[in-house]
Amino acid sequence: MLPPRLENTATARTALAPAEAKRKFTWANWVIGVQGPLFGLVLLCIIFSCTTNVFLSVRNALNILDQVTVLGILAIGMTAVIVIGGIDLSVGSVLALTMMIMGWLRDTWDVPIPIGIAIALLAGTACGLANGLLVTKAKLPAFIATLTMMSVGRGLANIVTDGRQVVGFPDWFTALASVRNFGFLSVTVGLFIALVIVSWVFLNYHAVGRSLYAIGGGAEVARLAGIHVQRLTLWVYALAGLLSGVAGIAMASRLDSSEPSAGLGYELDTIAAVVIGGASLSGGVGGIAGTVVGVLIIGVLHNGLNLSGVSPFVQQVIIGVVIALAVTFDTLRRKEN
């Protein structure tokens, strides 16, 4: 057997030993961390390559990356939230709100898009901060705190334009999601990949990133160890709000429009992706690498089933079954370790 895993099951102890936090990167470590879900992803790819001859192509791989970008950006923030033992149900609503603010600023007030984006991202961060304050100051359970923001955010998204959609952005803005630079990388996909790398390094190698695992492992222990639990919790929720905003902008670019009903139900897909990636809803366990694999599993599943021409009703059954199997598989493997 391989040595005990270090990647995902960081406990309070890990954070207390900074030397361990600065361990060296090895491929072995990475593979161990995501091995279960990764196995499922590879298996899915093999199956779809057999059921349809159009699945295995560079163009389709790029399509999948494009299709998972919004979910992936949301899932990065959600990973941090779940690692500290929280949950964020408001991501879909905050996404819609930021998208609407940006669209409305341009449509009604002729605000240049970059300034609109900045204001929209601030609004997203503010929603996240409100979540964080409800959790840390008002002591609401994260589920309830973010459920209220889910409702408020959706309402505000509709209020901005009285429920109307905003259609038609300048070409350069829609090109961010549709033009593949150097033949393969659109700006939004590039942004997603950059965010993945930064957050992966942060969660694995930065002392603050490591202390998030400590908070999820046991908030009281982490506090006694000198970690600013309240402040970090606040910032993690703010970050999730900011990333929801980034996802909203990416979606507006992809759809060439803003609509208040965007992202309905995305919180569940996002949480599913993070959990498929090996995170535990009780906190302290999880990682960006696993989340990326989880996101890709969801993306490949949808894409492959469409390409195979499976009926939409059967698709829903298969998606449910595969997610159940993926998580069961991972749980059994963990028990063994």
Question: Which of the ranges 112-120, 181-189, 204-212, 316-324 carries the binding residues for other proteins, by CB under 8 A?
Answer: 316-324
Question: Per CB under 8 A, does 120 bind other proteins?
Answer: no
1 binds other proteins (CB under 8 A): yes
| 302 makes contact with other proteins (CB under 8 A) | yes
- Tell me the two tokens of residue 234: 């606040």
* Nearest residue to 73 (alpha-carbon basis) of 176, 195, 251: 195
Which residues within the stretch 248-267 sit at the binding site for other proteins (CB under 8 A)?
A: 251, 254-259, 261-265
Which residue from 18, 141, 168, 226 is in contact with other proteins, where contact means CB under 8 A?
168
- The Cα 196–Cα 65 span in angstroms is 13
Distance of closest approach, residue 33 Cβ to other proteins, in angstroms:
15
Contacting other proteins within 58-97 (CB under 8 A): 59-60, 63, 66-67, 70
Alpha-carbon 138 to chain mean position: 26
User: Cα separation of 97 and 122, whole Å?
Assistant: 11
C-beta of 46 vs 194, nearer to other proteins = 46
User: Which residues lie below 8 Å from residue 177, measured CB to CB, with a gap of 6+?
Assistant: 66, 69, 186, 187, 188, 250, 253, 254
- Whole-number minimum distance, CB 121 to other proteins, in Å? 19
Residue whose token pair is 């391989």: 2
DSSP 258: E
Q: What is the dihedral of CA 223, 212, 1, 292, to 10 degrees?
A: 170
The least distance separating other proteins from the CB of residue 200, rounded to whole angstroms, comes to: 24
Report which of 268, 253, 290 is spatially closest to residue 9, judged by C-alpha positions: 290
The whole-angstrom separation of Cα 255 and Cα 271 is: 23
User: Residue 107 or 211: which CB sits closer to other proteins?
Assistant: 107
Smaller CB distance to other proteins: residue 136 or 158?
Answer: 158
Asked whether position 98 contacts other proteins by CB under 8 A, the answer is no
Question: Are the C-beta atoms of 14 and 21 separated by less than 8 Å?
Answer: yes
- Distance in Å, CB of 143 to other proteins, minimum: 24
* Binding residue (CB under 8 A) for other proteins from 54, 198, 201, 207: 54
Q: Is 317 in the site for other proteins (CB under 8 A)?
A: yes
Note whether 315 binds other proteins by CB under 8 A. yes
Secondary structure, 3-state, 192-214: HHHHHHHHHHHHHHCHHHHHHHH
Least distance to other proteins, CB of residue 308, Å: 5
Residue 163 found at the interface with other proteins (CB under 8 A): yes
Nearest 5°: the CA angle 312, 313, 314 is: 95
Residues at the interface with other proteins (CB under 8 A): 1-2, 40, 43-44, 47, 51-52, 54, 57, 59-60, 63, 66-67, 70, 163-168, 251, 254-259, 261-265, 302-303, 305-315, 317-318, 321-322, 325, 328-329, 332-333, 336
